Homo-oligomer: A and B are copies of this chain.
């Protein structure tokens, strides 16, 4: 049984302010937890309904385990339909991406993405296509938002997500900087080469003016119909698929 203070603590982690203060975020569902256990993330504690205990692999002794009732899980879960098991995970220390790890790879650079689901979906897509890094502007939504974590479907533990000053990163970088724009050259004719960054902008405003100037190669997904724009997670995926097709042909 959980104490009132435990419940209050976990509920506080639904909010960004307290995630930041305590350096802890929430993951939910047995699949996700099984993927996080062997990853570089440190699990802090696990809260499970009895029927999930047998599904858990052996855990290091420092991870605290708590059996909970379904009523308790409902209180601490961020989901409308809790998935029987929830874990707290330590937020890793912030790292700045060393530009050298980006060489000979493609990485996604997110400029002001606001929707947590979009960010999570982009991380999941990056993982599918083997992109190791997603670099976010400091005004991009927080990756430990429960909706983002959920939308990554476990991919968060395999994709390196960092936040940094994009202008600083992009200035004088010695690799191609592609950008998803409405007025670029056709995606289908893009010569991707073997490395690069792909900038994706905010849902409403697109890439910010400061960053637009640092894009070498604006690229557009050719439009046939009449929609004004594509969802940003959709655009990211179409870019990833095209780059992946090119790298693996």
Contacts and interface: CB of A to CB of B under 8 A. Distances in A.
Interface of A: 31, 117, 121, 124-131, 151, 153-155, 158, 187-188, 221-231, 233-234, 237-238, 241-242, 244-245, 247-249
A223 B124 CA distance: 12
Contacts of A244: 222, 224
Contact of A129 (B128, B188, B225): B225
Contacts of A241: 187, 221, 238, 241-242
- Stoichiometry, as copies per complex, reads 2
Contacts of A124: 227, 230-231, 234
Contact of A125 (B125, B155, B231, B245): B231
Contacts of A237: 230-231, 234, 237-238
Contacts of A226: 127, 155, 158
A244 to B, nearest CB: 6
B224 A188 contact: no
A179 B185 CA distance: 30
Nearest to A244: B224
A125 B233 contact: no
Contacts of A249: 188
Contacts of A31: 228
A128 B188 contact: no
A201 to B, nearest CB: 16
Given A117-B117, A154-B227, A231-B237, 7 more contacts: A124-B230, A127-B225, A129-B223, A131-B225, A222-B245, A233-B233, A241-B242
Contact of A154 (B129, B187, B228, B230): B228
A82 B248 CA distance: 46
Contacts of A248: 222, 224
